[in-house]
Amino acid sequence: MSGVNSFGGTEQECMKLSAVSRAMEILSGSMAKLPYYVVDENTNKRINHPILYLMNVRPNEAMAPAVHKSMIEGNRLSGGNGYDWIIRDRVSRRPAELIPLPWELVHPWKDTNGHPWYGIIHPYTGEPMVLSCEDVVHVKGYSHDGFKGMSVLGRASEVIAAARSAQDYERSFYENSGTPSGVLVAAGDLSGEVTRTKADGTAETVTHRDIVREEWEKTHTGPKNAFRTAILDFGLDYKPITISNADAQFVESKEVTVEDIARFFGVPLSKLYAGKQAYNSNEQNSIDYVVSTLHPTVTQYEEERTYKQLADSEIHVGLRLKINMMAELKGDSASRSTWYKNMREIGAYSADDIRAREDEEALGSDRGGDIYYFNKNFAPLDMARAVTEAQTGGKNK
């Protein structure tokens, strides 16, 4: 993807910054690994629905689900808008294939009635097309009008531009072997001109000053010429004028840049391999990342895909397309086990409810997997009244 963002840089140029590249990979990778499921909101029961084949098995012939989801999220971050083209079965009108569209190939617009449309360039044939709103899943970055999203790269343009300039400066510094710029001071006058023959046989007129500068740079610039002894004749004296790399405090400035990029993307410093590394704080930061950064994005995906990919009749009876975020929380085993224990002891979760959230096979009713308990003597929930009456002598009827 090479579309030009609002600040004039391409995604490839921004991705040359390690912090930007890592943040993009973290966020798109997080969305890539989260599986979908369909739930009946009236009963919270999971439903085996045909749409799950596209979401979790194969969205289209060319892509695995992880690649498909990662591409859409990457487009949302880099261009402000992620698009998924829904190709429907001609008879049933159910989604038959999902094709992610690069953001630079899509032009969203509204007609005089305010109905949204999408002008696209077909990603394979290059043919211009117009798609209706119902056939395009559109997930957005931060938006002023609720219709077009703003790119994270665009909003972070000044930070990214400064970081790229610093990176270019640092590369130039080391390409010149850490040799600072300076001034050659001559005792005599070097303003006179001479005529010389160039490599192509033509003549050019240059000053003595140009010749001295060229000879100095040829001899002392570049890694191959590092630490060569300088011989100054004709009364020349070299005076460096640029501050050193240490004086520029490159390490400190780069750390500030990484922190700014982390803030724009909503990614903890630990995930960018920056900042202080402490297990407990990193684990809590990861939880905050899921709650504060991922959850709002996941909610948008769920709402948009439910409206566009499920039939109206299914939505009206309470079916919803959901994303299982437990895959992102599996690293926090202690907090997760405490949560499950508490939920089971108050009768909210059965063993099979917990196993379903951990992507484990159900125990089944024959092994008690669907039994709910309550915390008073940890008895089965349907025996709660009998246990209470037995302990109180029937006084709590």
Is residue 231's pLDDT more than 90? no
Amino acid residing at 352: D
Which of left, alpha, beta for 4 (phi over 0: left; psi -120 to 50: alpha)? beta
pLDDT at residue 347 above 90?
no
The per-residue pLDDT for 205 is: 83
Residue 33, pLDDT above cutoff 90: yes
Question: At residue 239, does pLDDT exceed 50?
Answer: yes
pLDDT (mean) for 242-254: 49
Name the pLDDT band for 295 (thresholds 50, 70, 90).
Answer: very high
Residue 200: per-residue pLDDT: 81
Q: How confident is the model over 38-48, as a mean pLDDT? A: 89
Alpha helix locations (H) across the chain?
A: 11-14, 18-32, 51-56, 65-79, 152-155, 157-175, 208-220, 250-265, 279-288, 295-309, 312-316, 326-329, 333-345, 351-357, 384-392
pLDDT digits (tens, 9 = 90+) for 322-331: 998 877 766 5
Residue 196: both structure tokens together: 């010389």
Q: Does residue 359 register a pLDDT over 80?
A: no
DSSP letters, 303-333, are HHHHHHHS-HHHHHTTEEEEE-THHHHTT-H
Question: What whole-number distance in Å separates Cα of residue 272 and Cα of residue 261?
Answer: 10
The confidence score (pLDDT) of residue 12 equals: 62
Q: Which amino acid, one-letter code, is at 361? A: E
Q: Which two tokens stand for residue 42?
A: 């009236």
Judged against a pLDDT cut of 60, whether residue 137 lies above it is answered with yes
CA pair distance 218, 52, nearest whole angstrom: 65
Angle at 360 between CA 294 and CA 311, to 5 degrees: 60
Confidence of residue 252 (pLDDT cuts 50, 70, 90): very low
Looking at residue 357, its pLDDT comes to 74
Higher pLDDT, 86 or 219: 86
Residue 43 has pLDDT above 80, yes or no: yes
Q: Among the listed ranges 10-24, 43-57, 176-190, which one has the minimum average pLDDT value?
A: 176-190
Q: Identify the residue with better confidence: 53 or 383.
A: 53
Q: What is the structure's pLDDT at 293?
A: 93
Q: For the residues 14-32, what does the mean pLDDT come to? A: 85
Full-model pTM: 0.68
User: CB-based contacts of 61: which residues, under 8 Å, 6+ apart?
Assistant: 97
Contact 380, 371 (CB under 8 A): yes
Q: What whole-number distance in Å separates Cα of residue 355 and Cα of residue 339?
A: 13
| pLDDT mean over 24-46 | 92
CB 232 within 8 Å of CB 238: yes
| pLDDT score for 201 | 79
Q: Quick one: pLDDT at residue 1?
A: 43
Q: How far apart are CA 221 and CA 227, in angstroms?
A: 10
Percent of the chain past pLDDT 70, that is, above it, reads: 67
Question: Average pLDDT of the chain?
Answer: 79
Q: What is the mean pLDDT of residues 358-379?
A: 77
Euclidean distance between CA atoms 73 and 32, whole angstroms = 8
Highest average pLDDT, of 191-200, 215-224, 295-304, 348-357, comes from 295-304
What's at 58, amino acid-wise? Answer: R
Match 């009008």 to its residue by tokens.
145
Question: SS3 breakdown of the chain: % helix, strand, coil, rounded to 5?
Answer: 45, 20, 35
Q: Using 50, 70 and 90 to split pLDDT, how confident is the model at 247?
A: very low
Model pLDDT, residue 6:
44
pLDDT confidence of residue 181:
58
Instruction: Using the Cα atoms of residue 190, residue 194, residue 197 and residue 198 in order, give the sign of their dihedral.
Output: positive
CA 196/CA 227 separation, integer angstroms:
30
Query: Over 80: is that where the pLDDT of 169 sits?
Result: no
Q: Do 261 and 160 meet the contact criterion of CB atoms below 8 Å apart?
A: yes
Please state, in angstroms and rounded to a whole number, the distance separating the CA atoms of residues 106 and 86. Answer: 14
Return the ∠ at Cα 18 (arms to 17 and 23), rounded to 5°.
Answer: 105
| Total count of residues recorded for the chain | 397
Task: Delimit the domains of the chain by residue range.
Answer: 11-159+254-312, 185-241, 332-392
Cβ 31 vs Cβ 73: under 8 Å: yes
Q: Which H/E stretch holds residue 281?
A: helix 279-288
More confident residue, 191 or 351: 351
Percent of the chain with pLDDT strictly greater than 90: 36
pLDDT exceeds cutoff 60 at 7: no
Of all helices (H) and strands (E), which one includes residue 196?
strand 193-197
Is the pLDDT at 227 greater than 60, yes or no? no
